[in-house]
Amino acid sequence: MPSLETRIGELRLRNPVMTASGTFGYGQEYAEFVDLNRLGAVVVKGISLEPMQGNPVPRVVETPCGMLNAIGLQNVGLKAFLNEKLPFLRQFDTRVIVNILGNSVKDYVRLCQHLSDAGVDAIELNVSCPNVKKGGIAFGTDAAELGRLVESVRKASSVPLITKLSPNVGDVALFARVAAEAGTDAVSLINTLVGMVIDTVTRRPKLSNITGGLSGPAIRPVAVRMVWEVHRKTGLPIIGMGGIMTTEDALEFILAGASAVAVGTANFVNPGASVEIVDGLERYLAKARVSSVRELVGAVRT
């Protein structure tokens, strides 16, 4: 049987399929639809030190082959996550990766200390949420700030560190390189692209936040290109994401250079999508007589 096992730096995964942060709640929401034991990892909704309320509605609007969201990072906060959400996820035989966000380097450092102590499997730094005014995005679009943040956070974390990069920059490989030099173990590519939809009857934006993050199949070619570029220029381990709906979509990312993939918006359409992709990858490897999925990472013939 072909091997689906993969690695993100030091982090070993049973298979390369994860759920993307913000699209899978804290795992509990989908536990009755999906066998969480079959996933390579669950990446939970972004956590901040204190609970966050998020933006007013409308927070979501559908777009051609995709959707815009401006949730505004509503989350239960670190304490409730550790006490109420993490124990549930620990019942399953899957990796738990915690996405974190803050307004300052200090916030991120404290989150990393607590989560390292709690023994989560990895931490994903959210420096790319386009829907909040402060923090997050400021680190993701300023290379010097990003380097400073990753360096501090690296020292505070005893678990693998993944930096989720913003696609809303000119040269994404530059940011990947900065994060790597500052000590990140891997990068997630890509977060949502900033977009906007206007209601022509009311002449108002359809989202209360005016702009939002575009996700779904509409952004996939952009995401695949960015993964390919970062893989080629840095060789960093990459978790590829952006509109993955099917096994073929996941394979595109792997061939472009992703060591693992995350399924996001597809969860909303088909909660079983991630597990179907695990099965599909296994079938693909068997049919193509490839012994390990790792042989396909970056194997696009250009």
Partner 1 sequence: MSRLFKVPLLSNTEVADGHRLASFALPRETRAPQAGQFFMVGIPGLQDPLLKRPFSLHRMTDEGRVEILYRIRGKGTRLLAERTTGDVIEVLGPLGKPFPLDSTGRPVLVGGGLGAVPLVQLALSLAGRSPRIFLGARAGAELLSLDWFRKADPETVVSTENGEAGLKGFVTEPFRAYLEDSGPTCTVYACGPTPMLAAVSAICRDRGIPGYVSLEEHMACGVGACMGCVTETVEGYKSVCREGPVFPMEQVRFSFPGGSPERGGP
Q: Is 245 within 8 Å of 217 (Cβ atoms)?
A: yes
Least CB distance to partner 1 at residue 144 (A)? 32
65 given a catalytic annotation: no
Question: Strand 260-263 and strand 186-189: pairing?
Answer: unpaired
Residue with Cβ nearer partner 1 (19 or 166): 19
Question: Strand 161-164 and strand 186-189: pairing?
Answer: parallel
Q: Taking the CA atoms of 300, 246, 7 and 190 in sequence, report the sign of the dihedral they define.
A: positive
Binding mask 179-218 vs partner 1 (x if CB under 8 A, - otherwise)?
-------------------------------------xx-
Which residue in the set 10, 29, 117, 199 belongs to the binding site for partner 1 (CB under 8 A)? 29
Task: Check residue 34 for interaction with partner 1 (CB under 8 A).
Answer: yes
Least CB distance to partner 1 at residue 76 (A)? 11
> How long is the chain?
302
In the window 231-250, what residues touch partner 1 (CB under 8 A)?
A: 245
Give the number of C-alpha atoms closer than 13 A to the C-alpha of residue 103, restricted to the C-beta side.
Answer: 6
Least CB distance to partner 1 at residue 272 (A)? 6
Interface with partner 1 (CB under 8 A), residue total 37
Among candidates 250, 192, 231, 236, which has minimal Cα distance to 69?
Answer: 192
Task: Check residue 30 for interaction with partner 1 (CB under 8 A).
Answer: yes
The residue annotated as part of the active site, out of 8, 11, 129, 214, is 129
Least CB distance to partner 1 at residue 19 (A)? 9
Which residue in the set 6, 126, 128, 265 belongs to the binding site for partner 1 (CB under 8 A)? 265
Least CB distance to partner 1 at residue 28 (A)? 9
Spatial distance between the Cα atoms of 38 and 138, rounded to a whole number of angstroms: 36
Which residue in the set 271, 279, 294, 295 belongs to the binding site for partner 1 (CB under 8 A)? 271
Q: Is 119 within 8 Å of 42 (Cβ atoms)?
A: no
Spatial distance between the Cα atoms of 144 and 106, rounded to a whole number of angstroms: 16
Binding mask 44-73 vs partner 1 (x if CB under 8 A, - otherwise)?
-x-------xx-xxxxxxx-xxxx-x-x--
Task: Check residue 87 for interaction with partner 1 (CB under 8 A).
Answer: no
In the window 129-188, what residues touch partner 1 (CB under 8 A)?
A: none
Residue with Cβ nearer partner 1 (66 or 147): 66
- Tokens coding 224: 């695949």
> Buried b vs exposed e over 58-81: b needs ≥16 C-beta within 10 Å?
bbebebeebbbbbbbbebbebeeb
> Buried b vs exposed e over 171-203: b needs ≥16 C-beta within 10 Å?
ebbebbbbbbebbbbbbbbbbbbbbbbeeeeee
Spatial distance between the Cα atoms of 261 and 188, rounded to a whole number of angstroms: 9
List active site positions. 129
- Interacting residue ranges for partner 1, rule: CB under 8 A: 22-25, 29-30, 32-35, 45, 53-54, 56-62, 64-67, 69, 71, 74, 216-217, 245, 265, 267-272
